[in-house]
A = this chain, B = another copy of it.
Amino acid sequence: MQLGLIGLGKMGGNMRERIRRAGHTVIGYDRNPDLSDVSGLTELVGKLEGPRVVWVMVPAGAPTQGVIDELGDLLEPGDTVVDGGNSRWTDDEKHAEELAAKGIGFVDAGVSGGVWGLQNGYALMVGGDAEHIAKVQPIFDALKPEGDAGFVHAGKVGAGHFSKMVHNGIEYAMMQAYAEGWELLEAVHSVTDVREVFRSWQEGTVIRSWLLDLAVNALDEDEHLQQLRGYAEDSGEGRWTVEAAIDNAVPLPAITASLFARFASRQDDSPQMKMVAALRNQFGGHAVESAK
């Protein structure tokens, strides 16, 4: 089938390649003309036969909103828009309503796979009406991994991005789990080969996982991670996961601790610990260290 694909960055570019390998026609658009198959959205829409399916793969927020607004003007009743970017699930219902008013279907798709997706396939969590999803199914089938898993119709509009968001929240805590364990092993003298301990865990243990495999890869490249700074960005989904938990009065202690550890990792100095130091000095005369 034909697919219009908007956004050909690190994710979108590889997805175009994987869909093409499955025998589909992809007309891609990117603001970078070196990557783009067409000059703009008008040309892209013009080259697709109806009923069209257009996949949006641009950053969440204003960029996605802008593309969806434009597609609302260009597309026709019966066409379908897929938002495969990292939109917050609360945006999806709004987008679906805006497009539905023009007879255009909407599907939200959470996509996992990172730089490995081209080779291994992309896990897809989608939300929306079954009739809209059905129109995109051949593309989902091309993108997903080969086995039975890797695709789910999770629920109503928003359920795809919500599920992907929770996936990322879990991911934060799993990464934190391995990271805490690694730091503790590195801290004790009796364990003389932490990397080989991690490697040994890859089979037969309760904690074997793909992330563990990646940890071993990383340790093979740099046994004590001496090249790296202990600095971790967060990309939005972790924050939204905690906010969704608060909205639903669900306690998320491990995921939230993982998010906060990232916040702290990005501070040159910790304001709150300045206050703790100041208080210790006030009541106990404990020595403080001067700011650098």
- Is there contact, CB below 8 Å, between B229 and A288? yes
Segment touching B, from A46-54, A74-82, A170-178: A170-178
Shortest distance from the beta carbon of A230 to any chain B beta carbon, whole Å: 3
Contact partners of A89 in chain B: CB under 8 A: 190
Pick the contact of A229: B148, B207, B291 (CB < 8 A). Answer: B291
Contact partners of A243 in chain B: CB under 8 A: 243, 246
- Is there contact, CB below 8 Å, between B204 and A144? yes
Contact partners of A215 in chain B: CB under 8 A: 275, 278-279, 282
Give the CA-CA distance A200 to B158 in the complex, in Å: 17
Pick the contact of A250: B124, B184, B227, B230 (CB < 8 A). Answer: B184
Number of copies: 4
Chain A 120-152 near chain B by CB (<8 Å), digits 1 or 0: 111111010000000000000000111111111
Does A32 belong to the interface (CB within 8 Å)? Answer: no
Does A225 belong to the interface (CB within 8 Å)? Answer: yes
Does A166 belong to the interface (CB within 8 Å)? Answer: yes
Shortest distance from the beta carbon of A211 to any chain B beta carbon, whole Å: 6
> Given A162-B190, A199-B149, A263-B250: A184 and B169 within 8 A (CB)?
yes
Give the CA-CA distance A56 to B288 in the complex, in Å: 27
> Given A193-B154, A232-B273, A266-B249: A112 and B206 within 8 A (CB)?
yes
Does A163 belong to the interface (CB within 8 Å)? Answer: yes
Find residues 214-270 in chain A having any chain B CB closer than 8 Å to their own CB.
214-215, 217-218, 222, 225-233, 239, 241-246, 248-267, 269-270
Shortest distance from the beta carbon of A195 to any chain B beta carbon, whole Å: 10
- Is there contact, CB below 8 Å, between B272 and A233? no
Contact partners of A178 in chain B: CB under 8 A: 170, 275, 279
User: Which of A144, A181, A215: most chain B Cβ within 10 A?
Assistant: A181
> Given A211-B207, A276-B179: A284 and B184 within 8 A (CB)?
no
Contact partners of A123 in chain B: CB under 8 A: 200-201, 203-205
> Given A159-B191, A203-B145: A262 and B276 within 8 A (CB)?
yes
- Beta-carbon nearest neighbor of A113 in chain B: B204
Give the CA-CA distance A178 to B243 in the complex, in Å: 17
Pick the contact of A265: B159, B273, B286 (CB < 8 A). Answer: B273
